[in-house]
Chains A and B, each alone.
Chain A
Amino acid sequence: MRQNAEVVEDKTEKSEYVTLTIDGIEVKARKGTPLLEVARQIGVEIPTLCYYSFVSPYGSCRLCSVEITTKSGRNRIVTSCNYPAEDGLKVETKSEKVIMVRKGILELLLARCPKVVRVKNLAREYGITEPTLWVSDQDEDCILCGLCVRACKELIGVSAINFAMRGVKREITAPYHKFSDDCIGCGVCALVCPTGSRKIRQHTYATIAPLKGPKDENIGVNIDIFSAHSPDSLDGFVKAVIAAGLKSGLLDSVVLAKRKNSFAAEAVIIENSEDFLNCSLANSVRIKIVSTLMDAIAKGKRKIAFIGLPCQVRAARKIEQTLQKEIPDLEITSIGLFCLNSFNPKKLVEKINSLFKVDEKQIENISVKDGKFIIQAKSKEHSVALEKLDAAIENGCVYCNDFPAFFADLAIGTAGSEPGSVTVIVRTDKGKMLLEKANFTRDIAQKDDVVRLSDFKKNRAKEHTAPILKEIYAQRSRKGE
């Protein structure tokens, strides 16, 4: 990651400063800073398409080309976004040569993406109004700048999308052109994309049509919210509802993460209610579950219950929305589990090990209560404040703003209810119908508790995205868009 690289730089180079000139202006900069950043600091504008300071530079669009003359007199064109400042450098950002090179680049970009507004505007600035080169695809909208790939990998840490193939077939896609198992639907790819490409929306969950109905800001769309008595807490309630659905034929299968041991889980398809009642839900780990849902659909399942975290529920919803065009009788009823963040099993085990000196195998039970993380091991109870475990939070969770599973049919969690009860948010009629098959007694839910946690999560996400958004908006206004 970029940040790490900078830290390393600082240590070895002790913030050595160099002097260079940009368009005749003398400027001091820390050695190694990209020329582009140095230029911006003194108000010299250089056009870019594939650069943001919060991801590593990649130099793919070539638009930021500038002319440099080194101390030894060597003159050439380089990309300023990834060329490090060095002593005695003379940089020209608007020389004749630079303008010519940029024109050439824009000719190529326009031939690739003739309809993309941003490219068209840039081309026009350089006097190009129509593509003069051969256009192979009028609707192409990706310039293969890789910003989405870098943001997904370096910022979010999930790497759901990447480049694939090569040469003229090179493209951005989720693996196998299938719905991604790793995408958490944060939408950062769509945010950073300079062209607004639809490629990244195809197999990710960056954009989803919203649910319809009455809406609360922090609770989301809901037609009912209440607290249900369930002696066996969350696990028990979810199981009772789904088992009743399976028995009554309202559902033909359920896709869920099944617990293997304290931290490991596997995604499974279960078809009958007895098997289902015998397994235990894993509700705090984010495992690959989308491909299992797709397997169920491929097997001919049409009335599927899907139990997952809010991000996975987004996936299920997008898949339902997309596939219903081809498979009109497909119905996915999503049960979303409230989630503040999930923990990365590996990191969590390490953390627990260092905190309590207990081995993974000795752990009998884990639970979260009142901001505390509690584990039972060797018949002893250990607990720790949740903040202490921040380092073990799963990649990307801090960018996610969905606590109460906004896209679920039924959202369920312990927040907002007394022990022995769970809070249920009914968002759709589909969810309501499923509930009708189950027996339970209901009570009033403490909505405020849910709102508070939802708000906390939203704010955390905002904090993390604010600096990114700031730079993106600055970039857009710079281009006069």
Chain B
Amino acid sequence: MTNSQIDKIIAKYEGKSGVLIQLLLELQRELNWISPEAVKRINEKLGIPISEIYRVASFYTALSLEPRGKYLIRVCAGTACYIRGGLRVLDAAEKTIGIKAGETSSDLKFTLETVNCLGCCALGPVVEINGKYYGTVTPKRLEEIICRKRSEK
């Protein structure tokens, strides 16, 4: 995303107050992360101190200060999923992609995270990929899903 695109998004919020979170969420959606460049632009255009933007961006898990992959894979490690083997599913994901939970693959295709309960424990182990939920996931099945996503253009 170019600077002018960032500016375009920021422009929508100019002259309004109390919009930082909304603005950051929109940038996150479009850019997949809150880049230092974007932070700088917000500071210049809206006059919000950089430390304030950083405070908010580092507080919310929905906002990322590092680039996130195209696919955000969140493996549930909440109690129910944990008991049903959630960690083995996580293991499989880590091995298949070659990164640890909390990391992003170097081709920016995958970001792997754990979450504590996605609110559908009966379906455990649960994995969420870009908002889509997968129930009773086995290590093998997740491996297949990842391979499919990887080979796609």
Contacts and interface: CB of A to CB of B under 8 A. Distances in A.
B47 to A, nearest CB: 8
B55 interface: yes
A158 B50 CA distance: 10
Interface in A132-183: 153, 158-166, 174-176, 180-182
A159 B51 CA distance: 6
Contacts of B52: 159, 162
A186 to B, nearest CB: 15
A259 to B, nearest CB: 17
Contact of A165 (B39, B50, B53, B59): B59
Most buried by A among B36, B49, B51, B55: B51
Contacts of B39: 175
B36 A163 contact: no
B52 to A, nearest CB: 6
Interface of B, secondary structure class, is helix
Most buried by B among A158, A159, A160, A175: A175
Most buried by A among B49, B52, B53: B49
A167 B32 CA distance: 24
Contact of A163 (B50, B55, B65): B55
Contacts of A166: 58-59
Nearest to B60: A166
B54 interface: yes
B49 A164 contact: no
Interface in A161-220: 161-166, 174-176, 180-182
B73 to A, nearest CB: 23
Contact of B49 (A159, A163, A165, A176): A159
Contacts of B49: 153, 158-160, 162, 182
B65 to A, nearest CB: 8
Size bracket of the B interface: 10 to 19
Contacts of A176: 36, 54, 65
A162 B55 contact: yes
A175 B59 contact: no
Nearest to B65: A176
A166 B49 CA distance: 19
Contacts of B58: 164-166
A174 B52 CA distance: 10
A182 B51 contact: yes
A98 to B, nearest CB: 32
Contacts of B50: 175, 181-182
A85 B27 CA distance: 43
Interface of A, secondary structure class, is loop
B114 to A, nearest CB: 15
A161 B55 CA distance: 9
B59 A162 contact: no
A175 B53 CA distance: 9
Contacts of A159: 49, 51-52
Nearest to A170: B59
A155 to B, nearest CB: 14
B36 A164 contact: no
A165 B64 CA distance: 11
A85 B85 CA distance: 56
Nearest to B59: A166
Nearest to A171: B58
B153 to A, nearest CB: 34
B19 to A, nearest CB: 18
A174 B59 contact: no
Interface in B22-48: 36, 39
Contacts of A161: 51
Contacts of B54: 162, 164, 175-176
Interface in B101-132: none
Contacts of A180: 51
Contacts of A174: 51
Contacts of A165: 58-59
Nearest to A183: B51
A162 B53 CA distance: 10
Nearest to A161: B51
Nearest to A167: B59
Nearest to B50: A175
A315 to B, nearest CB: 15
B135 to A, nearest CB: 29
Nearest to B58: A164
A159 B54 CA distance: 11
Contacts of B55: 162-164
A294 to B, nearest CB: 12
Nearest to A163: B55
A162 B58 CA distance: 11
Nearest to B55: A162
B32 to A, nearest CB: 19
Contacts of A162: 49, 51-52, 54-55
A223 to B, nearest CB: 38
A146 to B, nearest CB: 11
Interface in A216-239: none
A378 B58 CA distance: 48
A422 B59 CA distance: 49
Q: 5 tightest A-B contacts by CB?
A: A159-B49, A162-B51, A175-B54, A162-B55, A164-B58
Interface of B: 36, 39, 49-55, 58-59, 65
26 contacts: A158-B49, A159-B49, A159-B51, A160-B49, A160-B51, A161-B51, A162-B51, A162-B52, A162-B55, A163-B59, A164-B55, A164-B58, A165-B58, A165-B59, A166-B58, A174-B51, A175-B50, A175-B51, A175-B53, A175-B54, A176-B36, A176-B54, A180-B51, A181-B50, A182-B49, A182-B51
Given A164-B58, A164-B59, A165-B59, 10 more contacts: A159-B49, A160-B49, A160-B51, A162-B54, A163-B55, A163-B59, A164-B54, A175-B54, A176-B36, A181-B50
